[in-house]
Structure 1
Amino acid sequence: MSTTLLNYYEAIERASAEMLEAARTGNWDEVVKLEGACAVLISQLKNAAQTDALRAEEAKTKSKIMQRILLNDAEIRHLAEPWLEDLDQMMNGRPKVLH
């Protein structure tokens, strides 16, 4: 039943919203944990999609969900940029310069 596919998309959207909230508070361990949960859901979705398909109306709903997921992802990436720069500097032995 294609409703199952939409359930996966909705679960991925919820996880991405939770990731965004964690990123907003600087809880990067939680972001990483939720990213792992998303990966599992995406894998399950791919398996389910091999035997199921969305109807036209469901495809419209999926598209809206995907747009929200992409917006969440973009904001998470924006919030992560300074953290990733700090991590890169630490790993390359360059201390962060404060101005």
Structure 2
Amino acid sequence: MQIQINTHNPDRLIDFYKAIETSSAKMLEAARLSDWDGVARYEGTCAVLIEQLRHQARNEQLAPEQRKEKARIMQRILRNDAQIRVLAEPWIAQFEHLFDGQPQVMH
């Protein structure tokens, strides 16, 4: 999945937040379908967007009205994340059960 951010747009920082929210919503939909590979793909997309946002935010700031929008977007992302965690808990528990009693080796 590729999300385009217009680098010539004065609203590019808020566009990053919106793109992260979109990817978060797609992660949630994948989790609802038990598509854990899809969840991982969208999580990877989020990670890339977050890194790009961090880089861009060093040089730009959000306007006051954009900070309010950012707060609303972040609340939706956090709600999505919470729902994804609820959906993933049984899968994670099942996965961890496979390793019960197995020696853990860290690389």
Calculate the TM-score normalised by the size of structure 2: 0.84
Aligned counterpart for 2:78 among listed residues 70, 73, 91: 70
- Structure 1: runs of 5 or more not aligned: 95-99
Identity across the alignment (%): 50
- Cα distance in 2 for partners of 1:48, 1:81 equals 34
Query: Are 1:20 and 1:72, in contact at CA under 8 Å, matched by a contact in 2?
Result: yes
Q: d(CA) in 1 for partners of 2:10 and 2:34?
A: 36
The code of the aligned residue for 2:94 comes to D
RMSD: 1.3
Number of the residue aligned with 2:40: 32
Give the structure 1 partner of residue 59 of structure 2.
51
Aligned counterparts of 2:73 and 2:66: Cα–Cα separation in 1: 10
Q: Find the counterpart in structure 2 of residue 97 from structure 1.
A: none
Paired AA for residue 85 in structure 1: A
Q: State the match for 1:13 in structure 2.
A: 21
Q: Distance in 2 between matches of 1:6 and 1:35?
A: 19
Query: CA shift at 1:92, angstroms?
Result: 2.1
- Cα deviation per residue 1:39-81 (whole Å; 9 max; x = unaligned)? 0000000000000000100000000000000000000000000
